[in-house]
Amino acid sequence: MTDARVDLRSDTFTVPDGGMRRAMAEAEVGDDVWGEDPTVRRLEETIAARLGKDAAVYVPSGTMANLCAVAAQTRPGDEVISDFEGHLVVYEVAGGAVVAGVQLRGVDSPGGVPSGAAVEAAVRPPNIHHPRSRLLALENTHNRRGGLAVAADAVAEAAEAAHRHGVLVHCDGARLFNASVALDCPPATLVEHCDTVSVCFSKGLGAPVGSALAGDAGTIEEARRWRKRLGGGMRQAGVIAAAALHALEHNVDRLADDHAHARLLVDLLGDSPGARVLRPAVPTNIVMLETEAPASDVAERAAAEGVLTAVMDRHLLRCMTYLGIDAGAVRRAGGVLRAVLGESAPPS
Ligand SMILES: *Cc1c(COP(=O)(O)O)cnc(C)c1O
């Protein structure tokens, strides 16, 4: 094959560059379970400040950050309200149910977060028959809704409705920095009304591993106990925390390039036969295609031409742009996908 492979499956396929590897090699470290890793501490302080929260805890994954947030803010038998397309509902192996003993209540949130009225409708009135509504989980950007960036006022509306009923609010901000860049709004403003927020360093920010959960000091202390309980206490984790610090310093503003590349892919595929391109109100680095043919067939044929995509559902295909995917790669992928989709379209 003459052309290089273009991998659009996920922004988790970033690999650390030379500068990041140097930062990792030079990291000052200690035993973080004992609270003695200076680099992890610096990361926790830095990310808490960036998110406008008191404290943060560094965890191995976004899934663990979300589970710690749920476990630290609920009791078994409580109910957690979430968009039914939310990562927490679809992709976290029911961890909240299995580990924290909570019940998830899915609500439809076409705008990425539920409206204030939808939150009000989902909160259970006090009654001995009901589970206690305890936590509202939001997601920004919203993965399955096409990388939609949700504006601060919509987050505030949902969060304020929850707070009126004593329901806490968590934001799954795995890609909060993408939302921040797309909306030109500081990340702290986007989560101002959220009690806790998780962010991933391992997605578009380009670090090899790691996420953080931020919130008030008491909640984060409880989340730290949960991290240990879940087996997520790490020792000389400064080696990987250094990569996250490097990412925060160098790879946030450049997310705008990924968004431009995603727009380029939408332009290339917008009128393609055989698929409909999802167009979220504020797009970021995700391009979702509703395919007429089975998505797995399209993915397989594109892969044979060196273009890798992710099958999300029977007729839903995802492409993502990230650090290392340049405009040339996107043009090549667009050409291959157009051809494959055209072949797969039923004759009209
Ligand atoms: C990737 C992702 C997570 C989970 O992160 P992992 O590090 O893969 O566990 C959580 N929420 C959203 C929206 C994500 O995209």
Q: Is 145 in the pocket of ligand 1 (CB under 6 A)?
A: no
Taking the C-alpha atoms of residue 63 and residue 255, their distance in angstroms, rounded to an integer, is 22
Residue 346 pLDDT: 66
Dmax (CA) of the chain: 67
If you average pLDDT over every residue of the chain, what do you get? Answer: 96
* Nearest CA residue ID for atom 4, ligand 1: 62
Residue 1 has pLDDT above 80, yes or no: no
For position 347, what pLDDT does the model report?
A: 66
- Predicted pLDDT at 238: 98
Q: Which of 63, 142, 177, 286 to mutate to test the pocket of ligand 1 (most atoms within 8 A of CB)?
A: 63
Closest CA to 232 of 89, 66, 14, 19: 66
Mean pLDDT in residue range 108-116: 96
Residue 65 Cα to ligand 1 midpoint, Å, equals 9
What's the pLDDT at 4? Answer: 83
Q: Please tell me the predicted confidence (pLDDT) of residue 184.
A: 98
112 lines ligand 1 (CB under 6 A): no
Total domains, the chain: 2
pLDDT tens across 285-296, in order? 999 999 999 999
Q: Per-residue pLDDT averaged across 30-38, rounded?
A: 97
- Ligand 1 and 174: CB distance under 6 A: yes
Token pair of 66 as six digits: 């979300």
In testing the pocket of ligand 1, which one of 12, 64, 200 has its CB within 8 Å of the most ligand atoms? 200
Residues 133 and 225 in one domain: yes
Mean pLDDT value across residues 219-232 = 98
* CATH code of the domain containing 24: 3.40.640.10
Output phi, psi for 135, to 5 deg: -145, 135
Residue 3 has pLDDT above 80, yes or no: no
Same domain flag for 187 and 267:
no
Q: What is the mean pLDDT of residues 234-259?
A: 98
Record the pTM: 0.97
Q: Which among 250, 285, 313 is the end of a domain?
A: 250
Number of helices and strands (H, E) in the chain?
14, 13
Q: Are strands 55-59 and 78-83 parallel, antiparallel or unpaired?
A: unpaired
For the cut 70, the answer to whether the pLDDT of residue 186 exceeds it is yes
- Rounded average pLDDT over 226-241: 98
112 and 261, same domain (yes or no)? no
Among the listed residues 134, 127, 140, 59, the one whose alpha carbon sits nearest the alpha carbon of residue 104: 134
Pair of tokens at residue 288: 């979702």
**Ligand 1, residues 140, 143, 197: which to mutate, most atoms within 8 A of Cβ?**
143
DSSP structure string for 283-318: --SEEEEEESS-HHHHHHHHHHTTEE-EEEETTEEE
Structural domain span for residue 133: 18-250
Indicate if 168 and 222 belong to the same structural domain: yes
Cα of 342 vs centre of ligand 1, distance in Å, is: 32
